[in-house]
Structures are given as C-alpha cells and as structure tokens.
Structure 1
Amino acid sequence: MSEDAAPDPALSRLSAALGTLPKRGLPPVEHWNPPYCGEIDIRIAADGTWHHNGSPIRRDKLVRLFSTILRREADGRTVLVTPVESVGIVVEDAPFLAVEMAVEGEGPDRSIAFRTNVDDLVRLDADHALRFEQDSEGGLKPYLHVRRGLWALVTRALTYDLVELAEEREIDGQVWLGIAAGGAFHRIAPADQA
C-alpha cells in the first residue's frame, strides 16, 4: 500500500491489536544470490510449528527472524537465504498460517486483513490474493499470498468466517462462488461445484 493511500481500517485494527511490536522491514532476499549449501534440518510442520533437528523451535523471536529470510525458488524449493548462503528446508504445507482476520465494510469496498503466525499483516487485494485447493477429503483449503511466492494456510476457524462472506458472481458466462475484497473478486469455485 502506498503512503498516499488511505489507511486500511481492517489492517489498522490488526496492527493495533499487536500493540508495541517494533516496526521491521524485510531483508531484500530477492536481490541476494548466494551459493546453495544444501539442506538443513529445519521443517515447518503443517500446523505452522518450526522444528530443528526434530524438536520444535520454542523461541518465537527466532522463528519470526527466520520467516523474514524465507524465499521460494523457481524450482519450488523453499530456502533460508542470507547474503552469503542459501539452505533448503522442508515445508509440509505452507510456510505461514493466517491466524487472525479483521473485516471492514461490505461488497466491493470490503477490506479484509490477516495476521499470520509470525505477525505479518497482510491486506487481501490483487497482490495478496486468496487461492483455494482441494484437500484429501474433498474439501477446500484457502491460502493467502503473503509475499514472494510464499503463502499462508488460512486456519479452519477463519475459513468458516470467510465462507460466511462468500457470494455468487457471473464471470465470463460462468457463476462463481467467491469473496469480494480489496478491489478484487477472489474465486473459490464454480457455484455448481461448491
């Protein structure tokens, strides 16, 4: 969001709820091209828990720090990258979880913002879209684009809240179920399949 744009009320609510967290920028990992140094025993479990050598990483600040140097490579690998090295890690589902949501307004003017498990604040818009994938039981799992090809799985509780906001729209002759927010219509599925 540009500095000239009006503040997003949903994002402001989540930001206020976070309290006095220090402001931090993200490292420019997209500009770093260090050598790949192989795999490291770090795994992000499907529930969002980070593990090292088979044990959960209990220091939240360390997890938040690592989350800022994540990068998705063109070949699909997820790596931790610094200016001097790049190491591969295992991500079971998505590297982040969307754990909190704020909604302001209705219809095309609706604003939806999310907080991730590592305290990223993300406004749902054309650059930070939702996508829906089918799970192993035939249900749909929503994901939110956070940054640089990295996604957050939306928690089950928030998924129910999102479904409450869904509406039908005809697009190119087909009726879709989706969510209007941030100036975009985020398609869930064709209405006859939802």
Structure 2
Amino acid sequence: MTQSTPDDPALARLSAALGEIGKRGLPPVERWNPEHCGEIDIRIAADGTWFHDGSAIRRPKLVKLFASILRKEPDGTTVLVTPAEKVRITVEDVAFAAVEMAVEGEGEGRRIAFRTNVDDLVSADAEHCLRFEDGAEGLKPYLHVRRDLWALVTRPLTYDLVEMGEEREIDGQRWFGLWAGGQFHRIARAEAA
C-alpha cells in the first residue's frame, strides 16, 4: 500500500488549518460551527486503520492530528471540523480501537486504563463507560473515549475483561460484568441457575 499524502485539496486545507493543533491538546471542536463542505474520501476501518483515497494513511502524526478534530454530529455522522470548514468522513464501526490496557486493584476498587490506536489515554469509569454488544463474531466491547466517540476493544483485551467478570444483582436481575472506576459495567444478563 502507498502512503497517503495531503494532495487532495480538502485534505490539504484541513492539514493547513490544523497547523500546530496536535501539540496543544484537543481543540474545542464542540464550539466550532462552520459550513458543511461535503464529504472527503477518508475512511476509518473497523480495526481503526485510517484510509484516504483507498490507501492507508501511514503517518501516525497525521492520523492523530485528524483524530483530534473528529466530531460526531447529532444525526450520527462523523466529521472532521476546523473553525473554517466541516467535512463528512466514513467510519465503518467506531472511530478508535483500544489497543492496550493496564489494570490496578480488584473488585469494586479496580481501575482500568486503556490506550487507543491514536494514543488517547482513557480510564474506564462513569464518564468513560464500557458497553458490550453481541456481534456476528461474538462479544464486542466498546469504551467511550470523548465527544460521543468510541473505541472498539481489541479481541485479546476482550478476553482479559471477561476474565475479570463477576455476577451481581442489579434492580432484581443478575448481571455478569466487571468493576472499573467505581462503576459496574454490565456485560450480559447472567443465566439462571
């Protein structure tokens, strides 16, 4: 695969508008409301790989820069937004992948921190919850990262999360789940014995 470069005019404008943003932390995209400028051929694959014009973007700094200006719109579309323009992109599943995990403690005192494929560091808690869905390939856990953007937890980490699971009664029903950040994150209803 070839490396994607900002030779597309829309991609070049976004790159120029961003400048040094990546070095200053996350920009306030929730406050930016420029005109919608259409769609750009950027796709985030289900595994978290970014593509432009069908080729993987191989420059991690560029991917991180674009990830910093992602925003989920009220209609569910995902856009890249700057103070000057907003363009829609394609996201196959969710914007990020949780690729690394660190665990401290046990039970109700357990803390779990994740690193995403774009180096966001997120601790699972009430604000950054874990949700679990049944997919065609089995259990799919997701972690809320920011601004209604989620990370799919990789398969190896999924097995580690399930190993930490326990049963707990909530509102009269038995649930299998795990503690992290003072929250019980439900995985699935427990089978009746």
Higher Rg of the two aligned structures? 2
Q: Superposed, which structure 2 residues align to 1:156-167 within 5 Å?
A: 156-167=155-166
Deviations 1:118-147 (A, max 9, x none): 00000100000001111124x210000000
Aligned to 2:146: 147
Name the SS of the counterpart of 1:90 in structure 2.
Answer: strand
- Give structure 2 stretches of 5+ with no counterpart: 1-21
Instruction: Output aligned runs, 1:34-73, within 5 Å.
Output: 34-73=34-73
CA separation in 1, counterparts of 2:168 and 2:184?
A: 9
What percentage of residue pairs aligned between the two structures are identical?
Answer: 75
What residue identity is the alignment partner of 1:151? W
Distance 1:30 1:184 in 2: 27
- One-letter code aligned to 1:128: H
- Match of 2:86? 86
- Which whole-Å CA distance do the structure 2 matches of 1:23 and 1:66 have between them? 13
Aligned length: 171
Give the SS at the match of 1:133: strand
Residue type of the partner of 1:70?
Answer: L
* Residues 125 and 55 of structure 1: CA distance in aligned 2, closer, same or farther (over 3 Å): same
C-alpha RMSD of the superposition: 1.3
* Change over 3 Å in CA distance of 1:49–1:171 after alignment to 2: same
Question: Unaligned stretches of 5+ in structure 1?
Answer: 1-21
TM-score for the superposition, normalised by structure 2: 0.86
The alpha carbon displacement at 1:24 in A equals 4.4
Matching residue's letter, 1:191: A
Structure 2 residue aligned with 1:133: 133
Task: Map Cα deviations across residues 159-178 of structure 1 (whole Å, 9 max, x no partner).
Answer: 00000110100001100001
Q: Which amino acid aligns with 2:58?
A: R
1:55-105: CA deviation from partner (whole Å, max 9, x where unpaired): 000100000000000000000000000001110000001110000000000
SS in 1 for 2:125: coil
The equivalent residue for 1:178 is 177
TM-score, length of structure 1 as denominator length = 0.86
